[in-house]
Amino acid sequence: MGKLDGKITLVAGGAGYVGEGIVRAFLKEGATVAVSARNSSKLEELRGLLGELASDRFVPVVGEFSQIEAAEHLRDEILNKFGQLDAVVASLGGGWKGNQPLTKVSMEDWQNYLQSNLTTHFVAARTFLPVLAQQKGSSYTLLGGGAAETAIPNYSLIAIPAAGQLMLTKVAIEEMKGSGVRINEVIVHSLVATRSTAGQNQPEWITADEIGEYTAWLASDEAHMVSGSIIRLYEQSR
């Protein structure tokens, strides 16, 4: 028996590097997992990576979170198909390889990162929290990075949206108190070992599959007492 048997879930950004580990863990625990990406080729690539786990409980959905209408379309597609939604994990955003001081950041990069790393979280939360609030035992989990809390030089376009995301989580927790949906943010203070870092992984890095196992537990009824929490995962020596 899986921890998530019978649960209908959405992993937003599930075709991303961390998302892959989350989708794998949710499928292993028995959930039906809708996975959104902006184009179907990434979803097909993910299907290949999942192998036999990509059963009929793996439900690829093309959609995006920069516009409210697009996210609502995605929400309606899931609700029309399954009639309910029990858990959402938002693994949205993107890495920054600019290595530039704040004073050199272009307007275009600023707007792009606010869009991909903060607006997406606003749109996803705005769209799915009201649905989850109607569902007993539901949960909404945001993935975040340590740059939300630690100022690192030349990393502004990751840090500033991440800090905004953390405040979005805190506001949503306060506003949704008593609604029944458990909202938590998992802040990963570590580089994550993913398929993109193969060959460079360090033993102390948290892996995408470990984040998946943790977030699967967080979405399960076993974690019913974890609500309104900012949870920090740090590098570990092993």
Q: Which residues bind ligand NAP (CB under 6 A)?
A: 13, 15-19, 37-38, 42, 64-66, 91-95, 116, 120, 143-145, 188, 191-192, 194
Residue with the shortest CB distance to ligand NAP? 16
CB of 168 to ligand NAP, least distance (A): 12
- Please check whether residue 204 is in contact with residue 149, taking contact to mean a CB–CB distance below 8 angstroms: no
Which residues lie closer than 8 Å to 36 by C-beta, 6 or more apart? Answer: 10, 11, 12, 13, 14, 15, 61, 62, 63, 64, 65, 74
CB of 8 to ligand NAP, least distance (A): 20
Which residues lie closer than 8 Å to 216 by C-beta, 6 or more apart? Answer: 3, 4, 22, 25, 26, 28, 29, 31
CB of 158 to ligand NAP, least distance (A): 7
C-alpha span between 82 and 49 (Å, rounded): 25
Bridge partners of 215, per DSSP, are none
- Please identify, using beta-carbon distances, which residue of 6 and 68 lies nearer to ligand NAP: 68
Q: Which residue has the tokens 């036999």?
A: 52
CB of 74 to ligand NAP, least distance (A): 9
